[in-house]
Amino acid sequence: MVGGRRSLMRLVIPKLVVLDSATLGKVSRDYWSPDEAPKAKARAFVARLVEHSVFVAVTMTHVSELLRHNDDRLVRHRLAFLRALPFIAWLRPYDRNWFPGGIPDLWRRELHAVVYGGKRGWRSIVDSVRADLWETGTGAEMFDNDRLWFRLRQVWKRQHRDEKYIASIARTDPGQMSHLTIAEVEHLPRRSKEDLAKFIPQFVANMQMQLERHGDRRLESPQRAAFAFSRATMHDVDRFETAGGDPLDRMLEHHEIPKDLMTLGMTVADLGQLAIYTSQLKLIGGHLEPPAFVTIRDVPPDTLPSFVLQRRLSAIQRDAVRVSGSDLGDGHIAPLTLYVDGLEVDKRTCEFLKQIQRADESLAALMQPFFRSTDYGGIPDRFAPVP
């Protein structure tokens, strides 16, 4: 009895929210602030999440983005903040070790559900994977070893440099080929080796210009990046030419794409996406337990829901005026909208996800609420019980 009245017990179902890494950084900053107002705000934020039975869900992408900062003191504060969280959840790795998992683990789990669980259809796959996707505990259990996380931080700092390069390269089309159809490509005149050698400087110059105009502003040397990628591209072109026959056929063979899956109306960019998918499928399948050497015929490109969402987001990101290395991290986080109760994203990603929703009702039906926030203090209210 409370105040002379019988209290009613409410069944509380834990909820999972994925916060943007920038928000986690802001809360951490305020949590340890010497000023009472921001400190009180951050601690009230955490307390209200606990009050509403909300677990802060993290992946390896979140942890790497938080800890790869150059400021040692800031990183120690962030680790201490993560350690102080009373309710956290982390994506359970496919091999079930204690570390936070990432998007490769999610893809492996979805592929496992298809290959070994016999699941068909996005809804069936998501329902099957969600049941075992998240591990829950306390921050103190996960982030109890500063030395380990600081060692990993060096790896993530190098990885961050690579992300800026990859995202920037993906935005370029120095040969002006991506939007050509296969029919149009087959009617292009074949370049001789001499003509190809003369074209290389123009290719490099076009790529450098596109990197400077559309790439990540923090890319260290667009000129060096343009040269390195151009050299690798021309090496591939020469290899397919040297193999004899139709270079397009040689490329399909190299990427293990059945020729009948290529249509004349398909664009070069579409064919590139098929090549990426076959490569990913081979890698993911090889790391299942037991390994499953499935082909693109066994598991078509539209089979795995998180992979589909990630590729659609990536396609929209590549058409943006200016790309960022953070696009890769966003692409690894966005598919979690299929698996959590709330997903916080930045302004740009929020708009991109809305575009995906509008374009595909089937995928939209699976996407849980996602949102952007200008003030983290209001986030817990999204999960308050309905009176």
Structure tokens that stand for 95 in this block: 């091999």
pLDDT value of position 321: 67
Does 274 or 18 have the greater pLDDT score?
A: 18
Give pTM, 2 decimals.
0.85
| pLDDT over 80 (residue 83) | yes
Does 111 or 199 have the greater pLDDT score?
A: 111
Contact 195, 281 (CB under 8 A): no
Mean pLDDT of 333-349: 96
| pLDDT over 50 (residue 7) | no
Q: How confident is the model at residue 352 (pLDDT cuts 50, 70, 90)?
A: very high
| pLDDT over 80 (residue 324) | no
Which tens digits make up the pLDDT trace of 165-178? 776 777 777 777 78
pLDDT value of position 198: 76
Nearest to 334 by CA among 300, 368, 362, 303: 368
Centroid of chain to Cα 8:
43
| pLDDT over 70 (residue 86) | yes
Scan for tokens 């890769």, then name that residue: 328
Burial of 12-45, coded b for 16+ CB within 10 Å and e otherwise, reads eeebbbbbbbebbbbbbbbbbeeeeebeebbeeb
Contact 32, 355 (CB under 8 A): no
Helices within 144-215 (DSSP H only): 146-170, 182-186, 193-214
CA 292 → CA 111, 128, 170, 367, distances in Å?
9, 19, 29, 28
pLDDT value of position 246: 76
Kind of pairing between the strands at 134-137 and 88-91: antiparallel
Q: If 0-12 CB within 10 Å is exposed, 13-18 middle and 19+ buried, where does residue 342 land?
A: buried
Q: 93-102, 174-183, 234-243, 309-318 — which is least confidently predicted? A: 234-243
Please give the torsion angle defined by the CA atoms of residues 290, 311, 98 and 20, in that order, rounded to the nearest 10 degrees: -170
Q: Kindly report the average pLDDT of the chain as a whole number.
A: 88
Helix (H, G, I), strand (E, B) or coil at 215: coil
Strands (E), the chain: 15-18, 54-58, 88-91, 134-137, 342-344, 370-371
DSSP 87: S
d(CA 279, CA 257): 10
Please give the torsion angle defined by the CA atoms of residues 347, 353, 357 and 359, in that order, rounded to the nearest 10 degrees: 110
Strand order in the sheet with 370-371: 134-137, 88-91, 54-58, 15-18, 342-344, 370-371
| pLDDT over 90 (residue 134) | yes
Mean pLDDT of 265-284: 89
Q: How confident is the model at residue 102 (pLDDT cuts 50, 70, 90)?
A: very high
| pLDDT over 60 (residue 9) | no
Nearest to 41 by CA among 54, 23, 55, 20: 23
Q: Is the dihedral of CA 107, 108, 109, 112 positive or negative?
A: positive
| pLDDT over 70 (residue 123) | yes
CA 313 → CA 20, 316, 372, distances in Å?
17, 5, 16
Nearest to 210 by CA among 318, 138, 67: 318
d(CA 15, CA 374): 22
Which tens digits make up the pLDDT trace of 34-82? 999 999 999 999 999 999 999 999 999 999 999 999 999 999 999 999 9
d(CA 383, CA 182): 49
| pLDDT over 90 (residue 3) | no
Which tens digits make up the pLDDT trace of 360-374? 999 999 999 999 999
**Helix (H) or strand (E) segment spanning residue 271:** helix 268-286
Count CB neighbours of 185 within 10 A.
16
Contact 57, 87 (CB under 8 A): no
Amino acid, res. 298 = D
Helix (H, G, I), strand (E, B) or coil at 274: helix
